[in-house]
């Protein structure tokens, strides 16, 4: 079963968030949450919150534990550009752009398979 969460208008550039998303893509949710929590970068916080929100959605909807979830898809898309102007040399104005991001996470529950410790056939 699939569970999702989105964070919109995150004030970090998608080019800076995508390498962090690449690290946790396809990993176990518990591993991803621990890795993002201990990552020393401030920009890892929105990714941690979004993955934690998707895991909470899974826990509320179907009582699925975080150990049974895997990150199927994590995307960092570009949001709108925040444009503003700053003073420049000789009285001119210099245009500035601030890139915003949209983060979407899709989790998939993985069934635990019981190992048959018996006979070889």
Distances (CA, A) of 52 to 91, 107, 119: 47, 11, 41
34-89 pLDDT, tens digit each: 999 999 999 999 999 999 999 999 999 888 888 899 999 999 999 999 999 999 99
The arithmetic mean of pLDDT across residues 88-117, rounded, is 87
CB atoms within 10 A of CB 72: 16
Query: For residue 57, what pLDDT is reported?
Result: 93
Residue ranges and CATH numbers for the domains of the chain are 2-84+92-109 (3.90.470.10)
Retrieve residue 72's tokens: 């199927």
pLDDT at 98 over 80: yes
- Place 115 in a pLDDT band, splitting at 50, 70 and 90: low
Q: Average model confidence (pLDDT) for the chain? A: 91
**What is the token pair recorded at 13?**
């550039």
φ, ψ at 48 (rounded to 5°): -60, -45
What pTM did the predictor assign? 0.84
Query: How many CB atoms are closer than 10 A to CB 6?
Result: 14
């Amino acid at each position: 079963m699939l569970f999702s969460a989105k964070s919109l208008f995150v004030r970090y550039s998608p080019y800076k968030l995508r390498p962090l998303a690449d690290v946790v893509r396809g990993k176990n949710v518990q591993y991803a949450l621990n890795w993002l929590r201990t990552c020393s970068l401030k920009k890892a916080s929105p990714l941690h919150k979004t993955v934690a929100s998707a895991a909470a959605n899974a826990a509320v909807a179907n009582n699925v534990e975080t150990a049974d979830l895997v990150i199927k898809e994590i995307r960092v898309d570009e949001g709108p550009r925040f444009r503003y102007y700053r003073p420049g040399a000789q009285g001119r104005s210099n245009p500035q752009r601030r890139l915003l991001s949209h983060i979407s996470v899709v989790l998939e529950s993985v069934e635990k398979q019981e190992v048959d410790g018996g006979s070889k056939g």
